[in-house]
Structure 1
Amino acid sequence: MKFAVALSMERFSPDTPMSDVTSTMLELVKMADQGGFETLWTAEHHTIECTISPNPFTILTWLGQHTERIRLGTATLVAPYWSPIRLAGEAALCDHLTGGRLEFGIARGAYQYEFDRMAGGMPQQEGVAYMKELVPAVQKLWAGDYAHDGHYWKFPLATSVPKPLQAPHPRIWVAARDPGTFDWAVGIGASILSTPLAAPAAEIAVLGEKFRKAVADHPEMPRPRFMMQRRTCCYERPEEAELAVRHSIDYGRSFENLFQNIGTVTNGFPTAVSYESVAGRDNYKPENVLKNLMFGTPDQVIEKLLDYEAAGVDQFSLGLSFNLPVELQRKTLDLFAREVLPVFAARERDRRHEEERRLAAAPSRMAAAGR
């Protein structure tokens, strides 16, 4: 299992200068790059200060100039906000400007608040139909001349300019939680981005089973990759958990505002809705936040991560953007790099060596059986 970091530029007060926001993100991404994390993910959002990213390709291009190894991913682009030609070209150019490090992640979209402003008020759930038309069209534009006559978009013969640097194109990732999206994504050769949100650990296995079924139902496709993301905070002393739990609960109440479209947003800053308004209220209990999310000391985090490994997760993504104090974000990255990543790198080496021994022994067993 590899590790990634999900970060957004975030402001929770108009008193915070944008220069502080950008410098903080750059510092954390450099830490992730130097610490051995595989991918940096950042999302597309509009009109809200807690996730500032009107075009994630711009952010990834900027970060690509200040990093060396880390992959740079969109988690996620919002399908209904794009046209196929524009998306194909923007992504391909970003791939060139980052030296072929782009990971292309896309979704139907999350916040109804945004859909009311960016997609004419269409229900957020309808975004999946846009995604299912958009992604194959982008793939064909990356390949060469292509004319499209679809339900949402129509255009005469055109192609992506430029073509991607990676051949045949950057890896495509689709955000999925329901079985139909898992099945569609695996069927087109895409990898999976998923999250148990704030649900109990049992949800990890549920998502893992959806992934396994989709892979089994598409034997014609190579096995894709499987990423899961959780809000994450790692600390040295258990008493440090209280601060992370409080920030997670407060951030969740702002998320409910945007997701359910039940609160107010003033000059880009969402108001946290009342505790009584949230969905899945048990998940907001402090003891459940601590248990369900990736909060803990390095030993506790490693124990929790075994559930993800067992579910077939190839990449675990640390969700750090929930107004967590910067010093705790730094500490989380540092502790993961020093105490968590090496444990799973060693487990991977051990499994690889065991597989090599098993394959080396197979001819001997076959020869013995023949005698």
Structure 2
Amino acid sequence: MKFGISLSMERFSPDDSMSSARDKLLMLARVADASGFETLWTAEHHTIECTISPNPFTVLTWLAQHTERIRLGTATIVAPYWSPIRLAGEAAMCDHLTNGRLELGIARGAYQYEFDRMAGGMPQQEGVAYMKELLPAVHKLWEGDYAHDGHYWKFPLATSVPKPLQQPHPPIWVATRDPGSFDWAVGVGANILSTPLSAPAGEVSVLGQKFRKAVADHPERPRPRFMMLRRTCVYERPEDWQSVVRYSVDYGRYFENLMQNIGTVRDGFPEAVPYETVANRANYDPQAIRENLMFGTPDEVIRKLQIYEDEGVDQFCLGLSFNLPFELQMKTLRLFADEVIPHFARREKAAAGALATTEAGN
């Protein structure tokens, strides 16, 4: 199992400076690049200060100038906000400007608040239909001249300019928790991004079962990769869990505002909604959050990660952008790099050695 990191620029108050948010992201990216993380992922969001990334390709192009080896991924492009021609060209240009390090993640979109402003108020659940039309059209544009006559987009003969550096194209990832989208994504040759959100560990197994069924139902496709994301914080003392859980709970009140469209947003800053308005209050029990999310000492985190590896997860992604103080984000990266990644690297090396010995004996 490899490891990625999900980062965004964040502001939760007008007193937080944009330059500080930018500089903190860059410092974390450089540490992740030097510490053995496979991929850095960043999101697309609009009109909200707690996730500042109106065009993730811009952020990734900038980060590419300050890193050397880490892959750079969109997690995710929101399908209804793009046209096939624009997405094909911008993704391909980003692939060139990052020297072939782009990973292209795409999704239907999450926040109804954004859909009300970016997609004419359509229900965000309908975004999946846009994604299913958009991605095949982008593939065709990367191949050469292509005319499209679809439900959402129509255009005469055109092509992507430029074409991607990676051939035939950058790795494609589809974000989903829905069985139908698992099946569609694997069927079109895409990798899977998923998250159990704040649910118990059993949800990891549920998502793993969806992935395995989709793979089994498409024997014509090579097995795709499977990434899973959780909010993560690693600390040295077991008793430190309480303050970390408080950060997660407080952030959840902003998240529920946007996810459920139940609060107000002033000048880009969502208000933290009252707990009594949250539909899934059970997910905010401190003990449940401590156990369900990737919070713990290195030994505790290694124990939790074993569940993900057992379910076939190829990359576990550390979600660090939940208003976690910068010092704790940096400490998490360093502890993870020093004590967690080596544990799994040793296991992988031992497994490879055992396989080589078996093959030599045969």
Query: Per-residue CA shift, 1:239-261, capped at 9, x if unaligned?
Result: 22122100100111111100110
> Distance between the aligned counterparts of 2:361 and 2:146, measured in 1?
50
Identify the residue that residue 17 of structure 1 maps to in structure 2.
17
Match of 2:254, as an amino acid?
S
> Distance between the aligned counterparts of 1:112 and 1:355, measured in 2?
49
Match of 1:127, as an amino acid?
G
Q: CA deviation at 1:207?
A: 0.2
Identify the residue that residue 328 of structure 1 maps to in structure 2.
328
Q: CA deviation at 1:357?
A: 2.0
Query: Per-residue CA shift, 1:280-333, capped at 9, x if unaligned?
Result: 211101111101000000000000000000010000000000000000000000
Please give the secondary structure, in 2, of the residue aligned with 1:76: strand
Identify the residue that residue 138 of structure 2 maps to in structure 1.
138
> Distance between the aligned counterparts of 1:9 and 1:279, measured in 2?
27
Identify the residue that residue 275 of structure 2 maps to in structure 1.
275
- 1:70-109 maps to which residues of 2 (within 5 A)? 70-109=70-109
Q: CA deviation at 1:272?
A: 1.0
Match of 1:279, as an amino acid?
A
- 1:152-163 maps to which residues of 2 (within 5 A)? 152-163=152-163
Residues matched between the structures, number: 362
Match of 2:174, as an amino acid?
V
Pair 1:172-2:172 in alignment: yes
Match of 1:207, as an amino acid?
L
Pair 1:291-2:291 in alignment: yes
Q: CA deviation at 1:351?
A: 1.4
Identify the residue that residue 306 of structure 1 maps to in structure 2.
306
Query: Per-residue CA shift, 1:205-246, capped at 9, x if unaligned?
Result: 000000000000000000000000000000001122122100
> Distance between the aligned counterparts of 1:120 and 1:67, measured in 2?
38
Q: CA deviation at 1:352?
A: 1.3
Match of 2:106, as an amino acid?
I
Greater alpha carbon shift after TM alignment, 64-73 vs 237-246: 237-246
Please give the secondary structure, in 2, of the residue aligned with 1:168: coil
Please give the secondary structure, in 1, of the residue aligned with 2:33: helix
Q: CA deviation at 1:360?
A: 2.2
Pair 1:46-2:39 in alignment: no
Please tell me whether Structure 1 or Structure 2 has the larger radius of gyration of its CA atoms: 1
> Distance between the aligned counterparts of 1:158 and 1:348, measured in 2?
45
Identify the residue that residue 365 of structure 1 maps to in structure 2.
none
Identify the residue that residue 189 of structure 2 maps to in structure 1.
189
> Distance between the aligned counterparts of 1:225 and 1:57, measured in 2?
22
> Distance between the aligned counterparts of 1:219 and 1:160, measured in 2?
30
Q: CA deviation at 1:274?
A: 1.1
> Distance between the aligned counterparts of 2:94 and 2:279, measured in 1?
37
Identify the residue that residue 339 of structure 1 maps to in structure 2.
339
> Distance between the aligned counterparts of 1:331 and 1:302, measured in 2?
16
Identify the residue that residue 67 of structure 1 maps to in structure 2.
67
Greater alpha carbon shift after TM alignment, 238-247 vs 259-268: 238-247
Match of 1:165, as an amino acid?
L
In the superposition, the TM-score normalised over structure 1's length comes to: 0.97
Query: Per-residue CA shift, 1:253-274, capped at 9, x if unaligned?
Result: 1111001100010100001111
Match of 1:106, as an amino acid?
I
Gaps of 5+ in 1: 363-371
Query: Per-residue CA shift, 1:158-216, capped at 9, x if unaligned?
Result: 00000000000000000010100000000000000000000000000000000000000
Q: CA deviation at 1:17?
A: 1.0
Greater alpha carbon shift after TM alignment, 235-244 vs 79-88: 235-244
Identify the residue that residue 198 of structure 2 maps to in structure 1.
198
Identify the residue that residue 35 of structure 2 maps to in structure 1.
35
Please give the secondary structure, in 1, of the residue aligned with 2:308: helix
Identity of aligned residues (%): 75
In the superposition, the TM-score normalised over structure 2's length comes to: 0.99
- 1:108-119 maps to which residues of 2 (within 5 A)? 108-119=108-119
